[in-house]
């Protein structure tokens, strides 16, 4: 019997990624393809779904041509993708307008309407999540309010990964983890919310069928096979949202496990065996890719992005030095930060460069350095940036803990996992053991594992994770620093309330 292979695809914001793994979880080949963002107006962020499809074609051609892999050896495909972004199709299943992305914030008025007319108690009851600009429903309402002729032609709506499934299979479908981020989904019951749709006058006919993530939700069509090089009739599983698939790839599939991912944004994600909802809706409660399980998640809008901003704005000397010596400039920043004591001798950084999602849900929030004195050097500022970002991540972790979700270990990914200094800093600030795992491919790897389960290579996600995901490194908190950071974090939490009124005025002045 020939060795079996599966493909995992991830339709991200800046580009798509794909991995081909064998039945033992080894990555045999990988490919990526970038595509542009469009920002036609301030606060607008859009993408052409055709760019996602062209990227998918390029990736699949490369993966299916992997040396030593026969076409018939690829037995399944899993898809992950950016959450929330709206894809609108007409009755002929043609795209009506560019996709309005998760990071687009034009929907402020629609969110105000939802909060006023639905109310926080009903939002908790119907969809278990707050009305935020990034979610899908406000984008659909915006289209109705501002592009009525287009809205009237909408026959189907999809999420990005589901548009790729449609192009691969001809099927209109989604999965529970992605549907949970639309603000139209009953997260507890794992079905579309009839009450929410009714109150917003949205026809349920617009919405696709919902599957659990490992269920087969179509097969590669003849046309798609010709375009991509994939075998015709290859099963395509339902897949999952990027964070849900990232959790699978990191092995965060059991009670007590969480992951902290620091990319441009920051995510803290904790597995839960039941749907627990924060009373103030500061964190999100979504369906897990693990059947009949859930997760709680907090999101920072600028985490690694804040460090990059600091690097590019204030550290060109380090950038040029690193380039001259062939090293990573972040290594120089980490080395500088390491020379400063925990707490940066009273200097704090509030990392709200683009407003904030968790915990404040505020577009008015602003970044700030607080506590600077004549004693503070550039290295103090550098360490304060690392600490401020990590304090922001801890905000999400503390909300999750307050929901009664225990966290015994945190698995790290993204930029925050690459630096030993930052790994130790996270252990000290989170106050829990942190670890890294052998997998580096993120959501694409998780999507591939979902395909492996859906096609019978593994009997369950637990088996797939147990066979493929291994701990690389463990770091325990430094007791002395952990104690200091407990006190410093209490001060950090007081900064935003103290500055909120001023930041709101600044936001209003810049809007005007």
- Structure confidence by residue, pLDDT tens digits, 210-223: 999 999 999 999 99
Give the residue, 511 or 233, on which the prediction is more confident: 233
Q: Minimal CA–CA distance to 288: which of 171, 434, 405, 115?
A: 405
Residue 405 is encoded by which pair of tokens?
Answer: 């979700």
Q: How far is CA 473 from CA 114, 245, 410, 424, in A?
A: 45, 21, 12, 11
pLDDT of residue 440: 80
Number of domains composing the chain? 1
Q: Does residue 450 sit within a domain? A: yes
Structural domain includes residue 13: yes
Band of pLDDT at residue 1, cut at 50, 70 and 90: low
- DSSP, residue by residue, 189-238: TTEE-HHHHHHTT--GGGSPEEE-TTSEEEE--HHHHHHH-PPTT-EEE-
Torsion of CA 296, 300, 303, 306, to 10 degrees: 180
> Distances in Å between the alpha carbon of 224 and those of 61, 175, 470?
11, 21, 35
CATH of the domain at 31: 3.30.420.40
Q: Is the pLDDT of residue 363 over 90?
A: no
Peptide bond into 359 cis (omega under 30): yes
> For a pLDDT cut of 70, what percent of the chain falls above it?
99
Residue 129 lies in a domain: yes
Q: Which stretches of 301-430 are assigned E, i.e. beta strand? A: 348-350, 368-370, 407-414
What's this model's pTM, rounded to 2 decimal places? Answer: 0.91
CB 102 within 8 A of CB 84: yes
Residue 250 falls inside a structural domain? yes
Q: Is residue 121 part of a domain?
A: yes
487 is catalytic: no
Residue 119's domain spans which residues?
A: 5-256+437-472
171-208, pLDDT tens digit by residue?
Answer: 999 999 999 999 999 999 999 999 999 999 999 999 99
512 pLDDT higher than 70: no
Tell me if 389 is assigned to some domain: no
- Residue 466 phi/psi, 5-degree rounding, is -60, -30
Query: Can you give the pLDDT at residue 416?
Result: 86
Sole residue written with tokens 């002045």: 509
Q: Please give the sequence-ordered ranges of beta strands (E in DSSP) within 394-438, or none if there are none.
A: 407-414, 434-437
Is residue 201 in a domain? yes
As a whole number of angstroms, the distance between CA 9 and CA 4 comes to: 17
The pair phi, psi for residue 31, each rounded to 5°, is -155, 160
Residue 98 lies in a domain: yes
Give the position of tokens 């795209």.
95
The residue from 73, 175, 242, 428 that is catalytic is: 242
């Amino acid at each position: 019997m020939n060795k079996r292979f599966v493909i995992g695809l991830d339709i991200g914001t800046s580009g798509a990624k794909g991995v081909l793994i064998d039945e033992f979880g080894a990555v045999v080949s990988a490919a990526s393809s970038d595509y542009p963002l469009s920002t036609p107006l301030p606060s607008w962020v859009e993408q052409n779904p055709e760019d996602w499809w062209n990227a998918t074609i390029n990736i699949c051609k490369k993966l299916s041509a992997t040396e030593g892999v026969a076409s018939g050896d690829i037995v399944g495909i899993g898809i992950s993708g950016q959450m929330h972004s709206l894809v609108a199709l007409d009755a002929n299943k043609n795209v009506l307008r560019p996709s309005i992305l998760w990071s687009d914030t034009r929907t402020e008025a629609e969110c105000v309407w939802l909060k006023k007319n639905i109310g926080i108690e009903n939002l908790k009851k119907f969809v278990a999540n707050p009305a935020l600009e990034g979610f899908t429903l406000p984008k659909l309402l915006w289209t109705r309010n501002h592009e009525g002729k287009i809205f009237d032609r909408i026959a189907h709506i999809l999420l990005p990964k589901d548009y790729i499934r449609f192009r691969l299979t001809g099927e209109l479908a989604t999965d529970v983890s992605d549907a949970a981020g639309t603000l139209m989904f009953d997260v507890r019951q794992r079905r579309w919310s009839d009450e929410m749709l009714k109150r917003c006058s949205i026809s349920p006919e617009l919405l696709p069928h919902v599957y659990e993530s490992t269920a087969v939700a179509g097969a590669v069509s003849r046309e798609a096979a010709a375009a991509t090089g994939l075998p015709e009739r290859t099963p395509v599983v339902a897949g999952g949202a990027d964070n849900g698939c990232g959790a699978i790839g990191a092995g965060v599939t059991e009670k007590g496990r969480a992951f902290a991912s620091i990319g441009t944004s920051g995510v803290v994600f904790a597995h839960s065996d039941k749907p627990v909802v924060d009373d103030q809706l500061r964190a999100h409660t979504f369906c897990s890719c693990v059947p009949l399980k859930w997760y709680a998640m907090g999101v920072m809008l600028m985490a690694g992005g804040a460090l990059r901003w600091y690097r590019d704005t204030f550290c060109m000397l380090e950038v040029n030095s690193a380039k001259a010596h062939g090293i990573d400039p972040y290594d120089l920043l980490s080395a500088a930060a390491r020379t400063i004591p925990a707490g940066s001798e009273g200097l704090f950084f509030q990392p709200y460069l683009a407003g904030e999602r968790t915990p404040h849900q505020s577009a008015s929030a602003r970044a700030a350095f607080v506590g600077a004195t004549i004693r503070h050097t550039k290295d103090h500022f550098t360490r304060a940036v690392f600490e401020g970002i990590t304090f922001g991540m801890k905000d999400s972790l503390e909300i999750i803990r307050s929901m009664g979700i225990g966290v015994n270990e945190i698995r790290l990914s993204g930029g925050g996992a690459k630096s030993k200094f930052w790994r130790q800093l996270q252990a000290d600030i989170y106050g829990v053991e942190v670890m890294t795992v052998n997998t580096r491919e993120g959501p694409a790897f998780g999507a591939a594992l979902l395909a492996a389960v859906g096609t019978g290579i593994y009997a369950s996600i637990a088996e797939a994770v147990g066979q493929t995901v291994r701990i690389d490194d463990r770091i325990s908190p430094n007791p002395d620093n952990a104690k200091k950071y407990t006190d410093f974090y209490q001060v950090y939490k007081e900064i935003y309330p103290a500055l909120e009124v001023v930041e709101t005025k600044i936001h209003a002045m810049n809007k005007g």
